[in-house]
A and B are shown apart, each in its own frame.
Chain A
Amino acid sequence: MNGSLQKVAVPVIAIVVFLVLWEALVQLNGWPDYVMASPSDLPTAYANFWELFLIGSWQTLWRTIAGLALAVVVGVLIGMVMGFSRIMRDALYPLLVGFNAIPKATLVPVLALLFIGQHNFNTVMMAFLISFFPIAVSVGIGLSTLEPEYRDILRSLGASRVTIFRKIALPKTLPEFFGALKVAVTLAFIGTNLVEIVSPHGRGLGALFLSAQTNSNYPLMFAVLIALAVLGIALYYAVIFLERTFAGWAEQQST
């Protein structure tokens, strides 16, 4: 089996095996769909509600990406401040760790009260709040552990701090940044769905899940879960693609 075929075939086979086992588990136990829906129930659910799936997916997707984008901007800024100033690092670190320790579900009512009725805004905020921490920490560590010689080769030529940042510190931190982004993208996705499911008048796939539950449409609930998984995989691989494009050199280094 050649390399590229194997890359596609192996995961596809694994998914098929997973679905077969799932189907067998349900059939052998004779479970009705309110205990657990089986894969064979899913096509009907998608066919009946395909429009809701498209709308919900889009809402979940764009709010996740908006929250993640905000997390990248704010996380990189905080990381830069912590990376360049020892005092700021000492000051911000305990705050960040403490904030990160708060279970984000507790923030849903806080946000809902702060910005009443702003469902889109609240959702983006939650995706942002839950995902900026790993970015800030990794950029901060990446910048503060830059070997002094790297700085010196440009500093000795009279280069400005901005130039040193742009030519050396920024690209050198990219692998750490993308490592954090892979964690952040999953977190942002969780944040978005959390708000969608918990909010009384939510939108997106999370709201579809909630309404399926309220209407006792169990196959639909499972169909939403699978759709969420697919969306999560797509987002994750989008980050992998960006990483290969902008920090592919780091991968070659380790081989």
Chain B
Amino acid sequence: MTHLIEIKGVRHAYPTQSGPLPVLDGLDIAVPEGEFCAVVGPSGCGKSTLTRLVAGLMKPDAGEVWLHGERVTSPRSTVGMAFQNPVLLEWRTILDNVILPLEIVAPRMPRRDRVARAEALLDMVGLSGFEGKRPSELSGGMRQRASLCRAIVHKPDVLIMDEPFGALDNFTREDLWQTMRDLRAKEPFTAVLITHDLRESVFLGDQVIVLSGRPARTQYVLDVTLPADRTIDALYTKEAGDMLHTLRDQIKIAQGRETAEAT
């Protein structure tokens, strides 16, 4: 089986005043093409470092990151990113915010085609009619929807998300999960989602990777067995409950509150 994203034995440390602080040590992740990989772990365990490595924004001290069978050493235009902060540009309309990556990746693309592509995406996430608004005129959930459109407007192979729904209230978050699920049905991309919400990881993920406490290594990999067109209700089945329970136990181990015997 070919893997679109492969992370092998990655180790990374940040320099601090009291010597290097290792954040990743022995991280292995493999995501097949088109799969959705959710990554959970205790806070401060290096999850955000992982996103920057996959995006090619930094290089690991040791180990390898591969995308599409190519070693990642620098940023590449086949990646899309979304963060907890939607980081929309306040001086641009929503439409022009979504178009931004195309200006970099496809400078020759006619404006008409860019607008058509952005409008189609905004329509998919329920933002049609808001193209001409400024980001400040939208609610937090709507801004995050626009941010997701911007992340995939250039049809990236890989979508990297660093807690994109973390700052939203619960109901808005569940709305966004369903938007994400519907987007995946229409737009083919492989996704890495960093989250601290176990229900989110089970609802969106094809696999859930639990990272250990710092320095993080791959501690546990859960295959989500729910159907692809799952609804929020699926989270309340026994099957989902068992998976959430397993993840909960793994997080406790990662936090060092329980011994590794549970595995």
Contact = CB atoms under 8 A, between A and B. Distances in A.
Q: Does B bind A?
A: yes
A252 B136 contact: yes
Contacts of A156: 55-57, 75, 79-81, 160
Contact of A253 (B80, B90, B100, B103): B90
Interface string B76-118: 1101110101010111000000001101110000000000000
Given A153-B150, A154-B104, A249-B134, A147 B85 contact: yes
B225 interface: no
Interface size class of A (residues with CB under 8 A): 20 to 34
A172 interface: yes
A247 to B, nearest CB: 8
Interface stretch (A137-145, A163-171, A197-205): A163-171
A168 B81 contact: no
A252 B77 CA distance: 33
Contact of A157 (B52, B79, B83, B85): B79
A150 to B, nearest CB: 5
B196 interface: no
A158 B91 contact: no
B154 interface: yes
Interface string B131-149: 0001010000000000000
A168 B89 contact: yes
A113 interface: no
Interface of B: 52, 55-57, 74-77, 79-81, 83, 85, 87, 89-91, 100-101, 103-105, 134, 136, 150, 154, 160
25 contacts: A147-B85, A147-B87, A152-B57, A153-B87, A155-B75, A156-B55, A156-B56, A156-B75, A156-B79, A156-B81, A157-B75, A157-B77, A157-B101, A157-B154, A158-B75, A158-B104, A163-B104, A167-B103, A172-B89, A172-B91, A247-B91, A249-B90, A249-B91, A253-B134, A253-B136
Interface of A: 147, 149-150, 152-159, 163, 167-168, 171-172, 174, 247, 249-250, 252-253
